[in-house]
A and B are shown apart, each in its own frame.
With several copies, the nearest count.
Chain A
Amino acid sequence: AMNPAALKANIESLPKGATVIVNVDAFEERNLNKAGYEANPLSDGSLSAYTVYEVPMTSITTEVSKEAGVKPRDAERSKNFFALGLISWLYTRPIEATAEWIEQKYAGKPLVMEANLRALKAGFHFGETAELFESAYQVKPAVLEPGEYVNVTGNTATAWGLIAAASLSGLPLFLGTYPITPASDILHELSKHKQFGVRTFQAEDEISGIGAALGAAFGGALGVTTTSGPGIDLKSETMGLAVSLELPLLIIDIQRGGPSTGLPTKTEQADLLHAMYGRHGESPLPIVAAKTPSHCFEAAVEAVRLAVKYRTPVILLSDGYLANGTEPWRLPDLDDLPAIDPAFATEANHVEADGTEVFWPYIRDDQTLARPWAPPGVPGLEHRIGGLEKADGSGNVAYDGPNHERMTRLRAAKIAGIAHDIPPTEVDDEDGAEVLVIGWGSTYGAIAAGVQRARARGYRVAQAHLVHLNPFPADLGDVLARYRRVLVPEVNLGQLSRLLRAEYLVDTISFTQVQGIPFRAAAMEAAILQQIDGTAESHSREVASADPTGKGIL
């Protein structure tokens, strides 16, 4: 727990990505200057390499001590126990032991003991009450390629990715969102960078957030909305409208433990099927998933590329583990980023029977099947669009069945066609492997670790990690067919596994764990070995859920 002086003194010695708990109360001008800071390090971004928790320790602990009736001077001391309580929460350690220790240690000074105990609990509860996110992500910096590095959290990388995509496309960035853990930090980060022309709109709710983003998209901006958990449910209807309007829109879901409010401060991967099917009617859209904190940058850019090129809402899946975790990131060469061309409509695209030239908003590009994007402002391109079914081409309201069927299949075909515009499945395979471990999202590190361990024992195991979840890469079916066993580890009850089974009729083996944390390498290794030794023939083809009541997993 640091004040400015301490921070100044120790920050250099801290490994990048370390967790820093800061006593904000101590960060007034005076102390800052004393410590030799010009700008406030909490806001000038110089701590972006660390997971910083800002906590009003002094105020809270003085409160506590007051209640316990000890002298202000002693209060100072309690601060450390507050910090200890907070850390216990962050790393989900029980505080009972510590409490006992305090009771013995301060048996002589009941008041101080009381104050310290209260401070300990206050710290622990603060983590819960203020929804501080637990257990941040740490990849042991393996051998790093040469280059310039920075430590980023997934949420920061996502925010930066959006800013980069906006500048690549020349589109003004508009974020319409409503705060929710663990997505809020993207709003916080973006709202700092107005010099990029970024507009952040804190809406009255999630529906308004995505609605405003869609309105901005209609106006020719890069419309983005961010949320988590219950918030994504509320966006379903407007996503459906965006599918029907065929406008670019980015929906970012930072998954957390569900269902309902669930475990707001723990991670999970259980929104995949919701992202696929969570809208009424046939309402397909592309899904992209980030796999590491720094990969959030690239994933955000890719999601924007697809949204703009195909005039479609895109869902980007991240999760609490990526969002709050940090890792060293080798800064990309901006020239390597894909070009993103809004290609706004500029002129009439259809000739009426009587020869007059008109603009039809639903004439498609033969190749991408995308429709023209014609923001207001251009004379002659005036047009009306809406959520009712539209006539193929003219875009006028159309009620006839055959047109509806054609439009329904066209919307589906447009999204399916993206399969040919994304890279083939990347498989890490020392040839001859019989088992493929395939995952998506934040389990990347854990799966890699498990695969390495298995290989270290001399087993041949292949790994693939999907970034595009809808559509799948064109070659995925063939890839899966090459292996005798396909193991699918997920922090849910087997959602990707279901998609693969339905799509490719492959008898995948679903390895699931739903404990608010990623897999441990050991567990992953065990699951892999079990496949190789062929000991997994449970009817359900599911590992770790043999006992239907789930009691077994304890």
Chain B
Amino acid sequence: MTDVAHAPEDAVPVPLTTRKDWSSDQEVRWCPGCGDYSILAAVQMLMPELGVRRESTVFLSGIGCAARFPYYMNTYGMHSIHGRAPAIATGLATTRPDLDIWVVTGDGDSLSIGGNHLIHALRRNVNITILLFNNQIYGLTKGQYSPTSEVAKVTKSTPFGSLEQPFNPLSLALGAEAGFVARTHDMDRKHMMETFRRAHAHKGASFVEIYQNCNVFNDGAFEQITGKEHRSDMLIPLVHGEPIRFGAEGQRGVVNHRDGSVEVVEVADVGEEALLVHDEHRDSPGLAFQLSRLSRGPHEPTPIGVFRDVDRPEYGSEMARQIDEATERRGPGDVAALLRSGSTWTVD
């Protein structure tokens, strides 16, 4: 009775599928040109490659433009309430370890109202894959600034400019003990697919920030770094075990100084061997955090790829283990015995 037992995994081999099999019959309703389309395409094209089953795949979301995602996937899905998807996913993942659970959320959904559920899901290392569509704006509600909007942003709710230091989603996730943290963007399908593949492969909570263009309320927010002509100079690809360098000829790189500061340098000035070597598996999140601070916004050279990928005990399996051990030790539960576990007496 510990698990709902109608997932036929072992029975039939996983059928071969195509993108079409993963697309629902619902008309996609995002604005034409919205970055969400390319993310949807990347996910739908990745699915057949993952060797997973539609019936064992669930997409959960809160509320927002991004959160409409589940309606477009031909899997099980829930479009829930604003900010709460990680909490709902925690209950599902804990009772259904057999499922593949994806949480799709926006910067407002997961960092504004849902911030607490997000950091706790990461801390607990619940077995879910979180895709955060960061367009640095509230799209669905017609363009108010969000917790990732740059300071002094003029929006419907801040005609005189916003006053708040934005969150750096990766720094926040790392500060919340996240085991898998990565970043990608909606202009590069290959990179998205690869990043999602890695996130899906990680057991436990995986967190992926996706720079996503809202061409209606915050057009071009990431253009300076994701635009085709800027990428080589503005995106720093992180590769495990490799010195961190970028630029058309890999002429620039990243170093870690003795004083604990991390900086972008010309490789020529410091020499290749001085470069910081990326290590996804470092037990301490310190290095990943340093890298998350390298760029102060999408106008400076910005690292993308997997920042951190460390294994920790996964919440749901741990709970299952405790149940198995208890059952082992005491035998399966017996209600009649439970009622008599206290001291009973008889009246006749």
Q: Check: B258 CB closer than 8 A to any chain A CB.
A: no
CA–CA, A153 and B141, complex, Å: 18
Chain A residues near B88 (CB, 8 Å)? 211-212, 214-215, 218
Chain B residues near A163 (CB, 8 Å)? 333, 335, 338
New A-B pairs, 16, CB < 8 Å, besides A214-B91, A382-B77: A129-B68, A131-B142, A144-B347, A146-B348, A160-B335, A192-B159, A194-B322, A196-B1, A196-B333, A204-B115, A204-B120, A241-B80, A344-B6, A376-B76, A376-B96, A379-B8
A155-188 contact mask (Cβ, 8 Å, vs B): 1 or 0: 0000010011011001110101011110010011
CA–CA, A149 and B339, complex, Å: 10
Tally of B interface residues using CB under 8 Å:
98
A205 touches B331 (CB 8 A): no
CA–CA, A350 and B54, complex, Å: 20
With A126-B31, A148-B344, A396-B26 as contacts: A208 and B333 at CB distance below 8 Å? no
Point out which of A223, A376, A386 has the most chain B C-beta atoms below 10 A from its C-beta.
Answer: A376
A174 touches B95 (CB 8 A): yes
A212 touches B71 (CB 8 A): no
Chain B residues near A376 (CB, 8 Å)? 7, 55-58, 76, 96, 99
CA–CA, A152 and B342, complex, Å: 9
A 205-240 contacts with B by CB, 8 A? 205-208, 211-221, 223, 230, 237-238
CA–CA, A330 and B348, complex, Å: 12
Query: Could you pull out 13 A-B pairs where Cβ atoms are within 8 angstroms?
Result: A129-B31, A150-B345, A163-B335, A171-B4, A172-B1, A196-B335, A201-B90, A216-B95, A245-B78, A334-B336, A384-B78, A386-B79, A387-B79
- Output the least CB separation between A371 and chain B (Å): 14
A45 touches B341 (CB 8 A): yes
With A179-B141, A197-B1, A260-B81 as contacts: A208 and B87 at CB distance below 8 Å? yes
CA–CA, A144 and B344, complex, Å: 14
CA–CA, A388 and B139, complex, Å: 17
Chain B residues near A375 (CB, 8 Å)? 4, 6, 96
With A376-B76, A379-B55 as contacts: A164 and B335 at CB distance below 8 Å? yes
Point out which of B30, B87, B157, B348 has the most chain A C-beta atoms below 10 A from its C-beta.
Answer: B87
CA–CA, A48 and B332, complex, Å: 21
A129 touches B65 (CB 8 A): yes
B 1-57 contacts with A by CB, 8 A? 1-4, 6-8, 24, 26-27, 29-33, 53-57
Nearest A residue to B65 via CB reads: A129
B156 touches A184 (CB 8 A): yes
B216 touches A60 (CB 8 A): yes
B75 touches A382 (CB 8 A): yes
How many A-B pairs fall under 8 Å by CB?
A: 323
A 372-399 contacts with B by CB, 8 A? 375-388, 396-397
Q: Check: B346 CB closer than 8 A to any chain A CB.
A: yes
Nearest A residue to B215 via CB reads: A59
Chain A residues near B70 (CB, 8 Å)? 384, 386
Chain B residues near A196 (CB, 8 Å)? 1, 332-333, 335, 338
Q: Check: B113 CB closer than 8 A to any chain A CB.
A: yes
Chain B residues near A380 (CB, 8 Å)? 55
CA–CA, A328 and B93, complex, Å: 40
Q: Considering the complex of A and B, which 8 residue pairs feature the smallest CB-CB distances, nearest first?
A: A386-B79, A212-B91, A215-B91, A196-B333, A48-B342, A211-B87, A63-B33, A197-B2
Q: Check: B201 CB closer than 8 A to any chain A CB.
A: no
A160 touches B1 (CB 8 A): no
From the candidates A128, A149, A245, name the one contacting B29 in the complex (CB within 8 A): A128
From the candidates B30, B115, B147, B326, name the one contacting A129 in the complex (CB within 8 A): B30
CA–CA, A506 and B203, complex, Å: 61
